[in-house]
Amino acid sequence: MLSSKLTGRNLWIAALVVPPIAFMSLFLVYPILSAFAYAFYEWKGLARGEFIWFENFHRVLFEFPFSERTINAFSHNIFVFFALMVLQNGVGFLLAYCLWRELWGARFHRVAVFLPVVLSTVIVGLLWKLFLHPLFGAVNVSLRGMGLGFLAQPWLGQDSTALMAIIVANAWHMVGFPTLVFLAGMQRIPSEILDAVRMETESEWVKMSKIVWPLVAPSATVVFTLLFVGAFNWFELPYVMGGIDGSPHGATDVLGLYFYRTAFGSMSASAENFGPGSALAVLIFLFIAVVSSVITIRLRKREIQL
Amino acid sequence: MAFGRDGLIQIILIGNSIVMLAPIIIMVISAFKTNAQIFQSPFSLPDFTKVGNLVRVWTETDFIRYLMNSFIVTGSSIALILVLGTMAAYALARYEFRGANLILLFFLAGLTLPLKLAVIPLFIQMRDLGLLDTRFALIFIYVATGLPTTVFILTGFIRSLPNELEDAARMDGASEARIMWAIMLPLVRPAMVIAAIQNVVPIWNDFFFPLIFIQSNDLKTLPQGLTTFMGEFGTDWGVLFSGLTLSALPVIILYIALSRQFVNGMTAGAIK
């Protein structure tokens, strides 16, 4: 009697947990594990060939023309990360600090800053592509209208500004996210601490840099880590705004685009190349996993428990 | 002094809101303009009765088909995520059994895995299963990526529910399935809303997986269809802005109506 009741209970639990586990194993865990294995094989189209040890890795890291493109794309990812650190997380922190005062209209500003976040990256990319059009785009039209016509540029058409233009569009799209994460962190600072600070100093700068900034460290850990992962997985916005080849002349090429082109073929040569593609994916994955763990561990250390 | 400080903060906030909203407003007003009007005076208010561009998007393009596809894919994914996520979370939160912690860890590990980078094996796997260029490919991928956060949110919530109701029902001889369905699940609804919103935005907006797995125009989702559509109407900016406006509007309206839930849902993973 007891044992049959127990098996009945176990069967019920199994019926609950097995289907979700099966789903995740089949479509998340298994593909990721196979990604590691695939990188060690030779690929002919969609067919797996021989086991070739590290040859794919050697190709993408050290052999022309793969190596040069890898380095070019990687350096752009690093630039994107630091630029967004300032434009997205830095600005987000400042905006959160402003919203935190709960001045008149703060609720409206909070809704406004998060509005672009809910839009699809494709919509954002296509919209900014229209705005940045050299002749008819709203950006250049308004520059000319203000008598600043000499500043009008083919923003997405020249090497010097293309990547930065896409970065600015990304910051516009996503700045609301760090803003509201920081704001939530600030709202958790106990009011006794803030009252004590108010007795000590009048300086807003001291309050912001010496008190608020250290106390929102947990929020900073989260948004820094997420930005890092996002910057090195960057794909959709450069794909929509710069195109699959990272035009002009690879100036907006990043690892995500380069991986996609290598694996699934570009406009010019539409041939799958799964070997080097898998090697790239593994390298990007390991790089993100290692560095983001280091970032998380180091930033956790400076968090203060209240 | 205090006024100056608050004044500066107000100026920053108002300036920022203008930067955030202006592109969206320009997008919407441009949807009602002709090319000439857009090029000459991008900021002037249009005649809002001129809906020709919007009608063209609706009738001359596959916009409705893309919209329907997005609804089908997102709706099925969310439904499946909630069903499977609730099953796992309920078992983990309400029963003690061997391996429960291991299973929870398994789901948590899924939080950190970037599936985009496993797209090559996923592609081969979908081909072997005969799912290339079908909606199932997208739905299964979204369910797998959505489950970890959903299980995480729901387990925490279901654990916090009181035991009394459940114990009383068990005393009365109700079956475990009946306890779950009739007594506990109605209480879980608020957490399900958070989990649904957290998943719905990235799935509705996703572009990467349709790009890899969908080739037929009949099956394209809205973000993917938009890029096709932009190519076809490349020189007719009024129609382009109309397409963007029609795609963005449902999400914008939903967000304005439910902004608190959206913010809570989308930052749920980042705020402890």
Provide the ipTM: 0.90
pLDDT digits (tens, 9 = 90+) for A160-219: 999 999 999 999 999 999 999 999 999 999 989 888 888 888 888 888 888 899 999 989
| CA-based nearest residue to A176, from A296, A64, A258, A89 | A89
**Does the predicted model carry a pTM greater than 0.95?**
no
For an interface test with B, which of A9, A26, A28 has the most B Cβ atoms less than 10 Å from its Cβ? A28
Rounded Cα distance, A47 and A32, in Å: 18
Any residues with CB less than 8 A from the CB of A276 and at least 6 apart, and which?
A56, A59, A60, A66, A262
Query: Where exactly are the structural domains of chain B?
Result: 46-266
Give the nearest chain A residue to B9 (CA atoms): A98
pLDDT score, position B1? 47
Q: How confident is the model at residue B23 (pLDDT cuts 50, 70, 90)?
A: very high
- Please say whether the beta carbons of A257 and A243 come within 8 A: no
CATH topology for B46-266 is: MetI-like fold (1.10.3720)
Q: Which two tokens stand for residue A231?
A: 């910057």
| CA-based nearest residue to A108, from B83, B13, B107 | B13
**A298 has pLDDT over 70:** yes
Q: Which two tokens stand for residue B242?
A: 């109309």
Mark yes or no for CB contact B88/A16 under 8 Å: yes
Domains of chain A by start residue, with CATH: 2-56 (no CATH), 57-301 (1.10.3720.10)
pLDDT digits (tens, 9 = 90+) for B252-270: 999 999 898 888 888 877 7
Q: How confident is the model at residue A267 (pLDDT cuts 50, 70, 90)?
A: low
- Residues in A closer than 8 angstroms to B201, CB to CB, are 118
**B112 has pLDDT over 90:** no
Q: What distance in Å separates residue A25's CA from the closest CA in chain B?
A: 8
pLDDT score, position A195? 87
Q: To the nearest whole number, what is the mean pLDDT of chain A?
A: 90
pLDDT score, position A2? 47
H helices of chain B, in order, are 2-30, 35-40, 52-60, 63-94, 100-110, 119-128, 135-159, 164-171, 176-178, 185-205, 208-213, 222-232, 237-257, 259-266
**B165 has pLDDT over 60:** yes
Q: Which two tokens stand for residue B185?
A: 């699940």
Between chain A and chain B, the number of residue pairs with CB atoms below 8 A apart is 242
pLDDT score, position A306? 58
Q: What is the mean pLDDT of residues A144-151?
A: 90
Tokens 């475990």 correspond to B176
pLDDT score, position B232? 83
Mark yes or no for CB contact B205/A120 under 8 Å: yes
Query: What is the distance, to the nearest Å, from the Cα of residue A166 to the centroid of all Cα atoms in its chain?
Result: 13
- Residues in A closer than 8 angstroms to B95, CB to CB, are 9, 13
H helices of chain A, in order, are 2-24, 30-38, 55-62, 66-84, 91-100, 106-114, 121-131, 138-145, 159-174, 176-187, 191-200, 204-206, 213-215, 217-232, 236-242, 255-264, 274-301
Q: Comparing A82 with A135, which gets the higher pLDDT?
A: A82
| CA-based nearest residue to B218, from B76, B74, B68 | B68
Mark yes or no for CB contact B91/A176 under 8 Å: no
Mark yes or no for CB contact B24/A115 under 8 Å: yes
Q: Which two tokens stand for residue B134?
A: 């079908």
Mark yes or no for CB contact A126/B230 under 8 Å: yes
- DSSP letter for A87, please: I
**A269 has pLDDT over 70:** no
Mark yes or no for CB contact A120/B118 under 8 Å: no
pLDDT score, position B255? 93
The sign of the torsion formed by the CA atoms of A105, A108, A112, A117 equals positive
Q: Which of B10, B19, B120 sits opposite A38 (nearest CB)?
A: B120
Q: What distance in Å separates residue A155's CA from the closest CA in chain B?
A: 17
Rounded Cα distance, B205 and A68, in Å: 33
- Residues in A closer than 8 angstroms to B128, CB to CB, are none
Rounded Cα distance, B120 and A262, in Å: 11
